[in-house]
Amino acid sequence: MKPNFPDRYSLAHLPTPIEPLARLTRHLGGPELWIKRDDLTGLAGGGNKTRKLEFLVAAAQAQGCDHLITMGAVQSNHCRQTAAAAAKAGMGCSLVLRGEKPVQDSRRNGNLLLDQLLGAHIYWSGEKKPTAVAEAVAANQKKLGRTPAIIPYGGSNVVGATSYVWAMQEAMTQLEQMRLNFDFIVFASSSGGTQSGIVLGAHVYGFRGRVLGISVDSAAESLKTKVASLATATAAHLSLGTVSLADRVEVNADYIEPGYAVLTETEREAIQLTAQMEGILLDPVYTGRAMGGLIDLIRWGAFTRGQKILFWHTGGFPALFAYDAPLTAA
């Protein structure tokens, strides 16, 4: 059965390219590395949230909504992309960012600067739960005669995850045209929407390799459970019936120890190597950790030389500007 895709609001430049990482492959002396450039989705700095927002904005508009509310960390790429999507769609946008407004200049840079340029109203959750603050903002918007939609963390519900089923259809078409096949697709996984969509898309479009999410912040079992249940719910949303994908959900959580958004030597080395070998910018929180993990696994001999790996770049480079000190520390 093929998915019954709902409407999209066009925001992304698609298809994103698939390119070889020839110099990085040679440097590491392991499997053949390729990259899918979802950092180039084109909307105000790009990233995986552009794809999710195509479906999320269409769904919100279909319900008559004129204001988007979402939550995230100070340097959330999802919040920056939501602000840009709202601007393009002519909707209002409120962002609830976790904690207090940062005092350090560099921490106000990066995504937070862009949120402001994109015209979002910013609320700081302080001690409160960001979801509770978002509810209060929504109630307030209603009083003002607006019709708000609350988008969950990372845009990871069935509507958002649908975009990565769509993305797998795109990738499988590219692989066919390029006469390429991969043993693994590897990427950063956090709120699980991307992985749920890729896993479901792999099933629907017959991808034969393995799909490995490198966890950025959650323990392996909890992320696996979340991804499997979101993938099943997304299948139902797309009229694919009941599918169980628990067996196809693979998570490596070996790199979460330092904590969310904490830059260590693993991320720093991955960011510098990818920049200096390929001219490609990773981000400090997600893709830096995922590529750092992949490099570590290659060095441990987790893959053979003959294997081919597709690293799916999920974006996030604007956050680099909020990490100038740790990135340039010797």
Ligand X SMILES: *Cc1c(COP(=O)(O)O)cnc(C)c1O
Annotated catalytic sites, by residue?
Answer: 76
Nearer CB in complex with ligand X: 8/313: 313
Mind giving me the DSSP string for 75-126?
A: T-HHHHHHHHHHHHHT-EEEEEESSS---STGGGSHHHHHHHHTT-EEEE-T
Q: Write out the residues near ligand X by the rule CB under 6 A.
A: 47-49, 77-78, 154, 156, 188-195, 283, 286-287, 314-316
Within 90-219, where are the H helices? 110-117, 130-143, 158-178, 193-205
44's CB contacts (< 8 A; 6+ apart) are: 80, 81, 83, 84, 114, 118
- CA of residue 73 relative to chain centroid, distance: 14
The sign of the CA dihedral 5, 47, 128, 91 is negative
* DSSP category for residue 21: -
Separation CA 266–CA 256 (nearest Å): 11
Q: Which is nearer to ligand X, 94 or 157 (CB)?
A: 157
The residue behind tokens 């490995």 is 212
Judged by CB, which is closer to ligand X: 166, or 286?
286
Integer Cα distance of 94 and 120 in angstroms? 5
In degrees and rounded to multiples of 5, residue 196 shows phi and psi of -60, -45
Contact call for residues 195 and 185 (beta carbons, < 8 A) = no
Number of H helices, E strands in the chain: 11, 10
Q: Quick one: 138 or 214, whose CB is closer to ligand X? A: 214
Nearer to ligand X, 25 or 314 (CB): 314
Q: What share of the chain is helix, strand, coil (3-state, %, to 5)?
A: 50, 15, 35
Q: Please give the Cα distance from 191 to 195 (Å, whole number).
A: 9
Q: Which two tokens stand for residue 19?
A: 């390119």
Least spacing, CB of residue 207 vs ligand X, in Å = 18
Pairing state of beta strands 148-151 and 184-189? unpaired
* Residue nearer to ligand X on the CB measure, 141 or 273: 273
